[in-house]
Each structure stands twice: as structure tokens, then as C-alpha cells.
Amino acid sequence: MSTAHQAKILVVEDEEIIRCSLCKLLEHHGYHTAQAVSVKTAREAFNLQQFDLIISDMRLPGGVGSELIALANPVPVLIMTSYASLRSAVDTMRLGAVDYISKPFDQGELLSTVNRLVSEAQSSKVQDTEGQTTESADNPIATTASIQTNPNQPHLSLDQYFAHFVQQNQSEMSETMLAEKLGISRKSLWERRNKLGIPRKK
């Protein structure tokens, strides 16, 4: 399995300052990066499947970043948006994004998310390779295991997304950060926890 030092990430962002600073941050932490200013540029300049992860702004010249989800499949796409809210998060995940992050982003949070997604993508590649060599006759559902636990489903509801997001991130985020990420108040976070029966981790 490759490490961060071999992982390749494509950053698609039309604002040069954000694009360049993000690439520098990723390169400083051992990732190889490539840049594009739009979906069209990314398609014409690169074989999208060569990357381990694509990070794209949602609003781009001539199109939206979510177009990359289908174009780059099965490469995971992390969407950046300045319009973070629980609804926009669900909409983004429904389109097939592996995750989203709001701008301006916290560097530590971004790196943590990138590390997790790259690790998951690389693990998936290894499992797919092993599955192909052993062939699915013995285990026909092996390659769908990740899909069964993946929240990125078309029928995802607000409550389902909320529950998944909180359970996945509450060990690393404060209540204030969770609420900000979801675009709701701490009171709403508490009320939704109680409604859905999601306990706080000590």
C-alpha cells in the first residue's frame, strides 16, 4: 500500500490563492499535487483516475465541482464549499462526494480529512485487487462491503446524515466545531442528539 508520500491529489479551484496555498500545504505533508482551475481543464489536462483523491470547489467556471464525482469514479472527491449547512452537506453527499469541507477551512481539520480519505481509498484499492485475484465466486459480495456502510446513498435523509457525521467526528471535534460544521447552533445539535438517541463521547 502506498503512503502519503506516494499519494497523488488533484486540487480543482479557480481562486489562485486558495489553490496554491492548499497545494503547498499538502506538499508540505508529503502529498504529490496537481492543479486545475475548472472541471474542463481537469478533464483535458489529466487522466482523473490516476489520482488517489480529488479536492474540488463546488462553484467553478463553466460548471460545478460535483461533476468530477462521475468523471473520476472510483476516485473519491472531496468538495469544498463556502455555503456550508446541513442541507448543502446532505445534497453534496447525495451526489456521491466522499465528504465536504467548508471554506475558509481549518488546516488541521482539512489534513485530518485528507489523511482519512486517502487511507480509505488506498485500502479499497488493495481490497479490490485482492478480490480480483481470489475472484468473487467464493465471496460475491466482498466488493460491496464498503457500499453497505457508506452514507453516500441517494435516499440519505437529514437525520441519517446527521447521525453518521456526529458519530464519525465527535471523538475529534468539540461540540462547537460539530455545530459549526453542520451549520446549526449548539442548542440544535443537542436537540437533534436527544431526538436520535446519539450519546456524547466522554
pLDDT confidence of 5, banded at 50, 70, 90?
low
Span 180-200, average pLDDT: 81
Report the share of the chain in percent with pLDDT over 90: 36
* H or E stretch covering 8: strand 8-12
Phi, psi of 74 (to 5 degrees): -95, 15
* Residue 139 confidence (pLDDT): 45
pTM of the model: 0.66
The yes-or-no verdict on residue 60 having pLDDT over 90 is yes
CA distance 5 to 158: 36
Classify 55 in phi/psi space as left (phi over 0), alpha (psi -120 to 50) or beta. beta
Of 11, 24, 6, which Cα lies nearest the Cα of 56? 11
Please answer whether residues 167 and 178 qualify as being in contact, where contact means their C-beta atoms are separated by less than 8 angstroms: no
**Which residues 6+ apart lie within 8 Å of 133 measured at CB?**
none
Please report how many Cα atoms fall inside a 13 Å half-sphere around the Cα of residue 29, on the Cβ side.
Answer: 17
Contacts by residues 160-165 (CB-CB < 8 Å, ≥ 24 positions apart): 161/86, 161/89, 161/90, 161/93, 162/86, 162/192, 162/196, 163/196, 163/198, 165/89
Angle at 15 between CA 173 and CA 109, to 5 degrees: 10
Encode pLDDT of 63-95 as tens digits.
899 999 999 999 999 998 876 566 676 777 777
* H or E stretch covering 59: strand 59-60
Of 58, 13, 1, 19, which Cα lies nearest the Cα of 38? 13
**Which residues 6+ apart lie within 8 Å of 91 measured at CB?**
none
What Rg value do the Cα atoms of the chain yield, rounded? 17
